[in-house]
Amino acid sequence: MTKTVGIIGGTGNIGEGLARRICLGGKFDVIIGSREASKACVAADGVVCELKDRKCTATTCSGTTNEDVCSSDILIISLPFERVQGTIETIGKAAFENKIVITLINPMIRNPKEKYFLPDAPAEGSAALAIRKMLPESTRLIAAFNNVAANKWMMLDEELDYSVAVCGDDEEAKKTVMELVGSVSKLKPLDAGPLAMTKVVEGITPLVITIAMRNGLKDVGVYFK
């Protein structure tokens, strides 16, 4: 049976792009979640139109509340870091028991005037390590998709051929997430070790934004090879 990916905060820019890209990959169904089910439904309708335009009928996309999205096999938390704790509390921690949960969050300090962004990790060392503490012990938290250039998610005519570092402490869950990553455009999943590696991986996003700003480049991504 086709596995379902639920996107918590799926009506943000990255969330909607992710939904499109995962559906177009054809291997996973998608449920878009939002605080308001109506917003999620509108977003899902947009994805469905796009899928039809592109003659993709392999997968489905629907919209619902963040709470109901938790029936999915895999959850992606696509929220600003500041909103994660509150959203988990609203949904209720029990919904996350034994789940595979993906974080792609990169907390950053912006200094556009001096042309740089820097990581702004919480005391735990990374957003992922902080979110780890907010979730039940049985949750299988994996970090992935962190460094994909944000604007590129929605540019469906452009292939995504970046390397994607996948970090986590549950090897089986990591494998499943690597399959998901590998189903999206030409993304190349790489096992990047334990969740603690997010101390590095989350920082690569402010680094590539800084590199773009300072070297006259656009939508810089990362390749490990």
What's the angle, vertex CA 22, arms to CA 165 and CA 109, rounded to 5?
A: 50
With respect to a copy of itself, which residue has the nearer C-beta, 96 or 145? 145
C-alpha to C-alpha distance for 122 and 31, rounded to whole angstroms: 29
* Amino acid occupying residue 199: K
Residues in touch with a copy of itself (CB under 8 A)? 114-119, 165, 190-194, 196-197, 199-201, 203-204, 206-208, 210-211, 214-215, 217, 220-225
SS3 116: strand
Find the shortest distance in angstroms from Cβ 25 to a copy of itself: 21
Of how many residues is the chain composed?
A: 225
Tokens describing residue 102: 């993906």
Which among 56, 111, 104 is positioned nearest to 81, based on CA atoms? 104
Bridge partners of 75? 6, 101
Find the shortest distance in angstroms from Cβ 131 to a copy of itself: 19
With respect to a copy of itself, which residue has the nearer C-beta, 37 or 116? 116
With respect to a copy of itself, which residue has the nearer C-beta, 10 or 221? 221
With respect to a copy of itself, which residue has the nearer C-beta, 68 or 116? 116
Find the shortest distance in angstroms from Cβ 93 to a copy of itself: 28
Find the shortest distance in angstroms from Cβ 3 to a copy of itself: 23
Sequence-distant (≥ 6) Cβ neighbours of residue 51 within 8 angstroms: 20, 23, 24, 57, 59, 61
C-alpha to C-alpha distance for 208 and 225, rounded to whole angstroms: 17
With respect to a copy of itself, which residue has the nearer C-beta, 95 or 213? 213
Find the shortest distance in angstroms from Cβ 222 to a copy of itself: 6
